[in-house]
Amino acid sequence: MKSLAELQALRDKMKGNMGIRDEDDASIRVVVGMATCGIAAGARPVLQAFTDEVAKRGLQNVAVGQTGCIGICQYEPVVEVFMPGQEKVTYVKMTAEKAVQVVNDHLVNGNVVTEYTIGANAK
């Protein structure tokens, strides 16, 4: 069973690695709406999918965080992506699967997944 001793070993291993993430260095910010509307619509698995995929790919320059309700509850789960020098991209009605695609296409390769953006979904 996991114990604090195991956490100690993990700490020592992480300290040995020079590439410890520093959130302040992150140039790309991903924020998931985690107010009541977001949570009820499924924001938790979306947040987790972003975190897992960013960790899996070792993307040191990406910080995943949360925000509150931005007033478009009908489009939740909503995710906003901030990249330096570019306009904010708002993804709507997100799922864990879509999140993985956004990491790969947008965060890694720089191609906005247009079909998931609010522009493509707003009626």
Partner 1 sequence: MMQELSLNILDVAQNSVKAGASLITIAVEEDEQEDLLIIAIGDNGCGMTPQQVDRVTDPFYTTRTTRKVGLGVPFLKMACEMTGGSFDIRSQPGVGTTVTARLGLHNIDRTPLGDVASTVTSLIQCNPDIDFVYSHKTAAGEFAADTREFRQVLEGIPLSAPEVIGFIKEYILEHLNEIQGGTI
User: Pick from 48, 77, 58: which is nearest to 17 by CA?
Assistant: 58
Residue ranges in the chain assigned as alpha helix (H): 4-16, 36-41, 43-56, 96-102, 118-121
Minimum CB separation of residue 85 from partner 1 in Å reads 25
Minimum CB separation of residue 37 from partner 1 in Å reads 8
Contact status, residue 98 vs residue 113, Cβ threshold 8 Å: yes
Span 57-116, contacts to partner 1 by CB under 8 A: 64-66, 68-71, 73
**120 is a site residue for partner 1 (CB under 8 A):** no
The pair of three-digit structure tokens given for residue 68, joined into one six-digit string: 């509150």
DSSP, res 43: H
Contact status, residue 79 vs residue 44, Cβ threshold 8 Å: no
**55 is a site residue for partner 1 (CB under 8 A):** yes
Closer to partner 1 by Cβ: residue 36 or 121: 36
Span 8-27, contacts to partner 1 by CB under 8 A: 8, 10-11, 14-15, 20-21, 23
Question: In whole angstroms, how large is the CA radius of gyration of the chain?
Answer: 16
**2 is a site residue for partner 1 (CB under 8 A):** yes
Binding site for partner 1 (CB under 8 A): 1-2, 4, 6-8, 10-11, 14-15, 20-21, 23, 34-37, 39-40, 44-45, 47-48, 51-52, 54-55, 64-66, 68-71, 73
